[in-house]
Structure formats: C-alpha cells, structure tokens
Amino acid sequence: MRVAIVGAGAIGGVVAWHMAQAGQRPVIIARPQTAALLAAEGLTLRSPTGAETVAVQVAADAVSVGVQDLVLVGFKAHDWASGLEAVRPLIGPSTIVLPMLNGIPWWYLQGLGAQFGDRRLAAVDASGAIEASIPAGQVLGCVVYIGANRPAPNVISWNGRKRLVIGEPLKPHGSRLADVGAFLRSGGVDAEQTEDIRTEVWQKLLGNAAYNPLSAVTGATVDKIVGDPGVRAVAKSIMAECVAVAAALGIESLPELEARLELPPTLIGVKTSMLQDMEAGRPLELGAIVGAVAELGRRAGVPTPLIECVGALAANAWQQRWGQ
C-alpha cells in the first residue's frame, strides 16, 4: 500500500514513527526545512520508557510523490484550507483520505438529512475549498486519542496513547474500512473500527469542547479543571449543551456526564492541545471545537450560550496575549 502522511506534527508524527518502526515506510510530506531535518536526523519519539529515533521517508514536494492509496492528514481543522496544496496531488480516484482531526469535521453533514441545510459547515470550511478538493466518498472518519506535543520539528513527546477510531461517514464501501484498520494495526497503531463514526466524534468532543477552551482561558491542566468544583460545573454544563445538539442530530448513546468527567491516569497533569497552542502563540482550534457545535446548534434549533461564551473568552485571551 502506498501511504503518505501530511502534517506530521504531534499526532501525525506519532503515527508516522510507529509505522516507520514497523517497516511500513510511509512518505512524510513536510516543508522543505523540516523535510531536510527529518531526512538527515530521522524522527525521534520521546515516551515514558525512553527515546528512540527511526529513519523516515520524506518529501517536500507532494507532486513528486504522486497518487497514494492512503493519505493520512494530521492538520488541525483551521490549517486544512491552507494545506490543501500538499494534499491534492496525492489523491486519485481510489485514494482513501483519513483526516486525524479534533472536533466536528468538515464532512459531518454529508449523507445526513436535508433538514439540516447546506452540507458545508462554515465554521470549518468557510470557502468550501475542502469539500471541493476531498470527495466525501473517499473519506474515512477518524477520532484521535493520542497525547503528544512537538518540541522540535523532528522530535515528538508522547504519553503512550496511540488509539485511532475509524469509520465510514457514508455508506459502507466494500472492505476498505477493515483493510485500513488492519494496515494501521500492523503499523503499531491501536486502530478500532466503528459502525457509527459520528457518535464517536461526539464522544471525543464532549471532552474537547469542555476542557480545551476552558484550559485556554484558565491556563489549567485537565485534572485541575475537573478538580475545581466551580470550573468542573462549567465543564459539565458545556458537555450538556453538546449532548443536546448531538441529540437533535440523532445521536443518543453518549455517556452520563459525571462518568465522562472522570479522568484516566494518562490525563493527570496533561495540557490540552489548545492550552499548548495558547502558550506557543499558535492559532486556537476554536472553529471545529466551538464554532461548529454552535453552528450545528443553530441549524437544529438548540441554543449553546455557554459554549459560545467560553469560546469567545478563549479567543479574546489569545488576542490579548498574542494579537497585534
């Protein structure tokens, strides 16, 4: 299988490292400076058990790599539109695209009933460029459970989780879901297949929507958020708004909220990706985690005042700290 990974930051880097270690040799598409560093020094993964470097295949020009069978994309939602030039040359009529995203993905409304209006979600694909470039029928949905950050372009710090939940956004398409799941598992990734990828999106989003913007506002790690009674109550109310929107969209099997607020040991002391972005001055992933939920809520007639309020506070906190 010809495989490329575009956007090998923290998440894409973890997946690329495990695949390379397993001998699968995916091609990483990176900016010229990063590509040169990866080619010269390899990709290093730091974990609780130590650090190890693997050699990787890398290219700075997607056109030279050509059409692939499978393209994994690690862009954050707000980077997709600007990164499409690195994705388009890799896609042919049979290419499977696996976007490793947080929040509501641009493809979410594809295949759902007409009562929800336009299939394009402005919060994550304002111009429609992503929808126009990536055929919905070639997408496999993906929910990511990987804790990592990238202290250097070829170094990933990782907490040990490498779980991807994948599923068909539209009707089943032959054996491709099973084939991709098997391929990922053979590459050392804990890949699980689901028949209901949208429920999985909301399951993960409950935490993202509650913890990420709150962490950007407060500077708190996840355990500090749920350990403070007042902030925990805010997080629970945000989750409740998400559950209401999801229910209006036909999602019914989400967990009880107190259970969702219980943290596994791997999240103790963890900074959310949005807090990491806030501290580094990078753009916040508010469109997919906050804006898209509010947009879906408006379409479904479900108010989301708290989600919108905390999202606005996070955006303002970033602007006050980093804006010009």
Query: Do residues 207 and 144 make contact, with C-beta atoms less than 8 angstroms apart?
Result: no
Q: pTM, whole model, 2 decimals? A: 0.95
Where do the CATH 1.10.1040.10 domains begin and end in the chain? 199-322
pLDDT tens-digit readout, 5-41: 999 899 999 999 999 999 999 999 999 999 999 999 9
Query: Do residues 285 and 77 make contact, with C-beta atoms less than 8 angstroms apart?
Result: yes
Give pLDDT, residue 286: 98
Average model confidence (pLDDT) for the chain? 95
Give pLDDT, residue 205: 97
Region 143-165: mean pLDDT is 94
Query: Do residues 283 and 321 make contact, with C-beta atoms less than 8 angstroms apart?
Result: no
pLDDT tens-digit readout, 241-293: 999 999 999 998 899 999 999 998 878 898 999 999 999 999 999 999 999 99
Residues with catalytic function = 204
- Going by the DSSP 8-state scheme, the letter that residue 34 receives in this structure is H
Q: Tell me the C-alpha distance between 324 and 316, whole Å.
A: 12
Query: Do residues 204 and 102 make contact, with C-beta atoms less than 8 angstroms apart?
Result: yes
Give pLDDT, residue 173: 83
Question: Looking at domain 3-195, which CATH architecture does it have?
Answer: 3-Layer(aba) Sandwich (3.40)
- Mention every residue, 6+ apart, whose C-beta is less than 8 A from residue 47: 158, 159, 160
Where do the CATH 3.40.50.720 domains begin and end in the chain? 3-195
Residue 202 three-state SS: helix
* pLDDT-based confidence at residue 324 (cuts at 50, 70, 90): low
Give pLDDT, residue 174: 87
CATH number listed for the domain at residues 199-322: 1.10.1040.10
Query: Do residues 17 and 134 make contact, with C-beta atoms less than 8 angstroms apart?
Result: no
Residue entry with tokens 């490793």: 100
CB-based contacts of 251-258 (< 8 A; 24+ apart in sequence): 251/198, 251/199, 251/202, 253/199, 254/199, 254/202, 254/203, 254/206, 255/203, 255/206, 257/206
Residue type, 197: I
